[in-house]
Structure 1
Amino acid sequence: MRVRVWGGTAALVLGGLLTAGYGGGKDTADESAGKAVSGGYPVSVTDCKGARTTFSAAPKRIVTSNASSLELLLRLGAGDGVIGTGFPPGKGTLPGDLDAKAQRVEVLSKSVIPKEKLLGSGADLYIDTFASMGSMGGGGMGDAPTEEEFKAAGIKHIYLKSTACAAQGKGPVTDLSAVEADVTSLGAVTGTRAKAAELVAGMRQKVDAARKAVRGTAESARPTYFFFDYDAGTKQPTVTCNRQIANAVITLAGARNVFADCDGDFKQVGWEDVIAKNPDWIQLGVRNRGSEAANAKAFDEAEQWLRSNPATKGLKAVREGHFVRVGSERTTIAGVENADTVEEIARALHPGKAG
């Protein structure tokens, strides 16, 4: 195992993150959360392979790879320490005052932050959402810096495991414990442990209520469900597989992801594959347009496309009008709002039982 340590030897290790999304379950996440609430610095976190990064104090200049880690930091109250981001959230994408705070963060790139720009950013921490570790060198997407280059630039490099490590998991992602563990980890690293515990408790309350509502419904009797990623293109659908956080959201809401037999996160298929699945429900997964009116228009467009396309208008969900209007980001990007999406899907599919 490689070990990366900056400042300090003894440390609180949030090792539960390593297994939380792949069978570690609530007990693993509980253990990490309890330690994080009671412990102080130094704090250690591990990457997808167990390599450890240790913090002797809270980072002061953070760069995030995309909107997922940025949003988590904002929700934790650690957003003032963020000096830049890649893949910024669109205006109006985040709720309430989080949106205004997100728009004030400098955009280092609208996609992957170029290597030279990241290393020269002056950051003391980079939070990586993308990494496909072992297959793309030492970092995440694109021409990423090596761990040696990060260290030479004085930048600690950690990962959101709920996204960066998901595709390498040993089994399907069926719960939100990896997201909870990321919240707990970032709370410990940034000194916002109490807020992290509050966020995790809120997520569990919503998910537990949804699961309780559908507990009496046998697995085989639960409706089949297709996440229609309208903005990914309609010529060839991109589907969410069993290592994507959307699979957990769908499962917890009391449904069966029709592409849960696909190992990985996303995959392109043909419309004949969707027709063969003939889902009971379809989620109109459009990306946030920045306003309720614009979102409503996008949902209408996605629904109309399904109703008018010869290949899809005969699907059971389309014929019966079984559409769920919940945006893509809240479903496919790991974050606190995954729990809200579980609640909303459960309410739509199991009326009178959930919510």
Structure 2
Amino acid sequence: MARAPITVEVCGQSVVYDKVPQRAVTHGINITEMFLALGLQDRWAGYGGLRDIKRLPAEMRPLLAHVPDLSNQGMNLETLLNVQPDFVFSGWAYGFRPGQITPASLKEMGIASYVLTESCIRQVQREKVSLEDTFNDLLNLGRIFDIEARAEKLVQTQRQQLQQIQDALKDVDYRPKVFVFDSGTDIPVTTGRFAMPQAMIEAAGGRNIFDDLDSSWMRGNWEDVIARDPDWIVIVDDDRPTPSGKTQFLLSKPELAQVKAIREKKLLRLEFAEATPGPRNVAAVQRLAHALHPEKVALP
């Protein structure tokens, strides 16, 4: 669809979009949820990075019925080109990877793209991660797809919900320490200060125990977890293994027995799509804030 070119800031670069995409591909469950939350299913040519549609909110699942599943793992160029996309929405380490499919390689083939803001840390320096990153992505997609009013309405609602949480926590002095556990037995995969859980924990009135590490999703070590003694553990549920399996592992690991969160069994599950940038971030912040400060924040 022709329209006057617009310029959008993507990972610190000005990117020009000279037409409204009609055949978009999304890669990553949280990215797909963001796309569908904006009601863009009529511009959808395919999706990838989704192992199980039951991971999507129930109201979104029927929308996948007639859309090709391009891959449940990494992005594949041949499969991608088979659906003749004019736009790809993904992120660095979500689907875009140096030496494989990148925004630059897609541009050479005449395919536009958009990169998830949080993932830009893998390519450029950033000062911090914020829930505004998610809102910014939604608003940028609104501009690119010429649905600005729809995007602004969604973001305004979420900002209002987030502000209510912030207002409830404004007098909080004590910020419980939180360890994010994604996966790993010998070496834990967790989040540094550039991953979305950092922003979510801060907004929920807590403190990420690895907020001093200049990374996003990263490999840590159990010695530091023990030394930093988290009050709460957030378990990221991505089915690898199941959250109950992760919980049992943590509770039965002898070295962790004296960690406060383990002693008091203060563990909270967040789905992968809640812990990564997407339309469920604010609702997840409310659940986390309720866990950390039940006297301040109620569940809806």
Confirm or deny a common fold (TM above 0.5).
yes
Aligned with residue 304 of structure 1, among 236, 244, 248: 248
Amino acid at match of 1:47: V
Q: Verify: 1:226 aligned to 2:179, yes or no.
A: yes
Which residue of structure 2 aligns with residue 107 of structure 1?
A: 69
Structure 1 residue runs of 5 or longer lacking an equivalent are: 1-5, 9-40, 133-138, 290-296
Report if aligned partners of 1:167, 1:265 keep a CA contact under 8 Å in 2. Answer: no
Which residue of structure 2 aligns with residue 13 of structure 1?
A: none
Structure 1 position 126, deviation (Å): 1.4
Which residue of structure 2 aligns with residue 189 of structure 1?
A: 144
Q: Distance in 1 between matches of 2:222 and 2:293?
A: 27
Structure 1 position 344, deviation (Å): 0.5
Which residue of structure 1 aligns with residue 203 of structure 2?
A: 252
Report if aligned partners of 1:70, 1:79 keep a CA contact under 8 Å in 2. Answer: no
Cα deviation 1:112-171 (Å, max 9, x = unaligned): 222343345311111131269xxxxxx921543466653453311221223334663432
Using the aligned pairs only, state the percent identity. 30
Amino acid at match of 2:32: L
Q: Distance in 1 between matches of 2:103 and 2:233?
A: 42
Call closer, same or farther: CA 1:91–1:7 in 2, change over 3 Å: closer
Which residue of structure 2 aligns with residue 326 of structure 1?
A: 270
SS of match in other structure, 1:325: strand
Report if aligned partners of 2:177, 2:208 keep a CA contact under 8 Å in 1. Answer: yes
Report if aligned partners of 1:7, 1:54 keep a CA contact under 8 Å in 2. Answer: no
Which residue of structure 2 aligns with residue 129 of structure 1?
A: 91
Q: Distance in 2 between matches of 1:305 and 1:146?
A: 37
Structure 2 residue runs of 5 or longer lacking an equivalent are: none
Correspondence 1:206-285 to 2 at 5 A: 206-218=161-173, 221-229=174-182, 232-285=183-236
Q: Distance in 2 between matches of 1:187 and 1:298?
A: 35
Q: Distance in 2 between matches of 1:241 and 1:201?
A: 28
Structure 1 position 207, deviation (Å): 1.4
Correspondence 1:1-355 to 2 at 5 A: 41-56=4-19, 58-88=20-50, 90-102=52-64, 104-130=66-92, 140-141=96-97, 143-145=99-101, 149-165=105-121, 168-173=124-129, 175-218=130-173, 221-229=174-182, 232-287=183-238, 298-331=242-275, 333-355=276-298
Amino acid at match of 1:182: D
Call closer, same or farther: CA 1:282–1:148 in 2, change over 3 Å: closer
Q: Distance in 2 between matches of 1:267 and 1:191?
A: 36
Structure 1, 273-282 or 59-68: larger mean CA deviation: 59-68
Q: Distance in 1 between matches of 2:259 and 2:65?
A: 40
Q: Distance in 2 between matches of 1:310 and 1:279?
A: 16
SS of match in other structure, 1:97: coil
Q: Distance in 2 between matches of 1:222 and 1:171?
A: 22
Amino acid at match of 2:13: G
Structure 1 position 100, deviation (Å): 2.1
Amino acid at match of 2:138: V
Structure 1 position 324, deviation (Å): 1.6
Report if aligned partners of 1:225, 1:282 keep a CA contact under 8 Å in 2. Answer: yes
Report if aligned partners of 2:134, 2:277 keep a CA contact under 8 Å in 1. Answer: yes
Call closer, same or farther: CA 1:198–1:310 in 2, change over 3 Å: same
Q: Distance in 2 between matches of 1:285 and 1:327?
A: 6
Which residue of structure 2 aligns with residue 18 of structure 1?
A: none
Cα deviation 1:249-289 (Å, max 9, x = unaligned): 01100000000011011221221111011101111222269
More strand by share: 2
TM-score, normalised via structure 1 length: 0.76
